[in-house]
Amino acid sequence: MAKKTTTSQKTTPRQSKSRTRTPFRIGIMGGTFDPVHYGHLLAAEQARCEFKLEEVVFVPTGNPPHKITWEMSSAEHRYMMTMLATATNPHFDVSRTEIERKGTSFSIQTIREFQAEYSDNDAEIFFITGFDAVMELLTWSEPMEVIKRATVIAVTRPGYDSKQLHAALGGKVLSRIRLLQAPALAISSTDIRRRVSMGLPIKYLLPEPVEKYIIKNGLYKSAAR
């Protein structure tokens, strides 16, 4: 098991650490995490267990390339909430690499950074995404490089339509993606933001410290979110 390190002040993806075996299997879970919720945590944990990952590093986005339809919370708020949510899992960590990055942030840059950092240790990178995100894989920057450098784990819900994924990506790309079925979790950050703005409860959708952080900092009150 990898020892949890404090990434709070770092701009590099991860600190070097001693590893017990090679290759070091590391999962990257990217997202806006506005806010982070149990859907993210469950997907990451499921991927960690299924693919025997030493750890999963959550990487909150800086300036994401895709269009954002709400007024995104500050990077520091999203980072803090992700730290709070992952604190109790010794296999989870949080990286500041994307929020410290200037300009638009692309997943392929993050994958390259992690690979460079672990180059001495023959790291195997796993990139964990939800079904909705992987459907758009071909619109990402350098998608073929992404699937060459990392094993993409697409977290799907029971009963999802694999034909949809085949139609969106084609068989060749799809063959490079590992599918992972997670329990049906209809939780989304969009719904949580909407609930807060309407004064509806968000309890049991996300960890309690994150719920408290949202209330304390008055996040998502505006109906525009």
Q: Name the minimum Å distance from CB 220 to ligand ATP.
A: 11
Q: Can you read off the two tokens belonging to residue 201? A: 């409860």
Please, what is the minimum distance in Å from the beta carbon of residue 74 to ligand ATP? 15
Cβ atoms of residues 87 and 79 within 8 Å: no
Q: Which residue is nearest to ligand ATP (CB)?
A: 130
Nearer to ligand ATP, 19 or 178 (CB): 178
CB of 24 to ligand ATP, least distance (A): 22
* Residue 84: closest CA among 195, 192, 1, 208: 208
Considering the complex, what minimum distance in angstroms separates the CB of residue 112 from ligand ATP? 19
19 vs 180 by CB, closer to ligand ATP? 180
Q: Which residues bind ligand ATP (CB under 6 A)?
A: 31-34, 39-40, 43, 129-130, 132-133, 155, 182, 185, 187-190
Distance (Å, whole) CA 92 – CA 187: 20
Give the closest residue to 79 by CA, choosing from 95, 64, 68: 95
CB of 188 to ligand ATP, least distance (A): 4
CA angle 189, 183, 140 (to 5 degrees): 55
Q: How far is CA 66 from the centre of its chain?
A: 15
7 vs 73 by CB, closer to ligand ATP: 73
Minimum CB distance to ligand ATP, residue 194 (Å):
9
Q: How far apart are CA 179 and CA 45, in angstroms?
A: 14
Can you count the helices (H) and strands (E) in the chain?
10, 6
Q: How far apart are CA 78 and CA 92, in angstroms?
A: 16
